[in-house]
Amino acid sequence: MSKSLQAIRGMNDILPAQTPAWRYLEGTLAKLLGGYGYQEIRLPILEFTELFARGIGEGTDVVDKEMYTFLDRNEESLTLRPEGTAGCVRAVLEHGLSGGGQVQKLWYAGPMFRYEKPQKGRYRQFHQIGVEAFNLSGPDVDAELIVLTWRLWKKLGLADSVSLQLNSLGSSEARANYREALVAYLQERFEQLDEDSQRRLTTNPLRILDSKNAQTQALLVDAPMLAEYLDEESKSHFEGVKARLDAAGIAYQINHKLVRGLDYYNRTVFEWVTDKLGAQGTVCAGGRYDGLVGQLGGKPTPGVGFAMGVERLVLLLETLELLPSELEQSADLYLCAFGEAAEVAGLSLAERLRDALPGLRLLVNSGGGSFKSQFKKADKSGARFALILGEDELAARVVGCKPLRDDAQQQNIAWDALAEHLAACLQA
């Protein structure tokens, strides 16, 4: 027998029972972003591989081990996007959106792809909502992005379940000096490092700082600290960010080991983390990347942004039972029609009701069936009322209206009075 078809490991279907939670999260954030002046941009899922190699950085785990890369029919190397920032920068450059110092505040949403070991809260196709701001170099926009996410947590009821970690990576020069000092310190202790950290020592040594290996973390206790190598401008910038967060009343923890996994970050980096989801604790992360536009061929342009994982946030909302009960929307009405003439009239009547009652959730029975079978479908739909249309009702130009969630009696309502009657019943 042939193998049954199924989804690729780590790439999941989002079923109808799950999509209301996704729409709730995405809709809440889209409305919030609009209130802060951010505009939506829609980006391709596929990009030339060079974009990520140059943007994210050779030697990073993402580029070296996690990207889905292949040759197309023109023998060009393409990659399913592993993150959104590089593609957004490419679009800004390609369409001249940042030229002349234009300020751009953009957001996007959609699937990203990384070849990782699938586990709860981490998948090979995962979804992110990303936010990017260009041509703003001060600490004010860094703080605004953090305040914006904090406001989202309050709207979702998550404010007490997430905490903010903050750090500054300084300038590229400061980071390079620190990297040199860190490598020198760790080289002397090379044999004590775990295998993954030994590899990273020559490719991406700053990532060793967030190693999950306990022995490596013990070695790092006496290692040089990035804060000791910050340049004065970066120190001043970081103080400006902290001052604004203090003024807004947002608590944070300075995490000197927070470096993020992508090479393009400088100065401010931050993560919102939770202890409610086990190992996958980061729900939103970002920072400043002032060198990335220039790195990808544009004029030097300040940039800052963040991305949040939709799967993890939905999982967090479900775990804490914070999804609004009205998301599980049942039908308001279920129209049962018996016979060809009633089915024809019922379709027209249903559209008249939808015109008269915007937002009405009305299901019309399809496929015919006996009185008993149609009523069974009506009850299963969760509808509050069944509308009954048969030969007798057609002749009298009335519709039977039967409550399904209590013992009230059926009423026959004239067609012309039906919309008004239902409006009153549904508000009760």
pLDDT at 55: 79
List pLDDT tens digits, range 331-388: 899 999 999 999 999 999 999 999 999 989 999 999 888 989 999 999 998 899 999 9
Say whether both 131 and 42 belong to one domain: yes
Is residue 196 included in any domain, yes or no? no
Give the H or E element holding residue 240. helix 232-248
Q: Which residues contact 45 (CB under 8 A, 6 or more apart)?
A: 80, 81, 110, 111, 113
In degrees and rounded to multiples of 5, residue 21 shows phi and psi of -65, -40
CATH label of the domain that carries residue 339: 3.40.50.800
Is residue 178 included in any domain, yes or no? no
Say whether both 305 and 383 belong to one domain: no
CB 140 within 8 A of CB 244: yes
Q: What single-letter DSSP state applies at residue 122?
A: B
Supply the pTM of this predicted model.
0.85
Give the H or E element holding residue 216. helix 214-220
Say whether both 112 and 235 belong to one domain: yes
How many structural domains comprise the chain? 2
CB 306 within 8 A of CB 130: yes
pLDDT at 263: 64
- Where helices occur in 291-370 by DSSP H, the ranges are 292-295, 310-319, 340-356
At 22, the amino acid letter reads W
Is residue 422 included in any domain, yes or no? yes
What mean pLDDT is reported for the chain? 90
DSSP 32-44: HHHHTT-EE----
Assess whether pLDDT exceeds 70 at residue 46: yes
CB 171 within 8 A of CB 231: yes
At 163, the amino acid letter reads S
263 SS3 class: coil
Half-sphere exposure at residue 352, Cβ-oriented, CA atoms within 13 angstroms: 13
Is residue 183 included in any domain, yes or no? no
- Rg of the chain over all Cα atoms, to the nearest angstrom: 28
Dihedral angle, C-alpha 279, 283, 287, 291, nearest 10 °: 80
pLDDT at 277: 87
Say whether both 64 and 113 belong to one domain: yes
pLDDT at 361: 93
Residue spans of beta strands (DSSP E) within 36-162: 39-40, 46-48, 68-71, 77-80, 104-113, 125-134
Say whether both 256 and 283 belong to one domain: yes
Question: Average pLDDT in the 177-206 region?
Answer: 83
Percentage of the chain modeled with pLDDT above 70: 97
- Angstrom distance (rounded) from CA 324 to CA 32: 18
pLDDT at 178: 84
pLDDT at 330: 79
Per-residue confidence band for 72, with pLDDT thresholds at 50, 70 and 90: very high
Is residue 195 included in any domain, yes or no? no
217 SS3 class: helix
- Domain hosting 355: range is 330-427
Q: Which residues contact 427 (CB under 8 A, 6 or more apart)?
A: none
Half-sphere exposure at residue 12, Cβ-oriented, CA atoms within 13 angstroms: 16
Say whether both 236 and 337 belong to one domain: no
Q: Which of 6-10, 14-18, 207-211, 262-266 has the lowest mean pLDDT?
A: 262-266
Assess whether pLDDT exceeds 80 at residue 50: yes
Is residue 198 included in any domain, yes or no? no
The residues with which 272 forms a beta bridge, in sequence order, are 164, 284
Classify the C-alpha dihedral 367-373-378-382 as positive or negative.
negative
Q: Exposed (0-12), middle (13-18) or buried (19+): which is 370, by Cβ within 10 Å?
A: exposed
Question: Average pLDDT in the 387-392 region?
Answer: 93
Per-residue confidence band for 257, with pLDDT thresholds at 50, 70 and 90: confident
Question: Average pLDDT in the 162-179 region?
Answer: 89
Is residue 306 included in any domain, yes or no? yes
Assess whether pLDDT exceeds 80 at residue 142: yes
Assess whether pLDDT exceeds 90 at residue 152: yes
pLDDT at 175: 82
pLDDT at 394: 92
CATH label of the domain that carries residue 91: 3.30.930.10
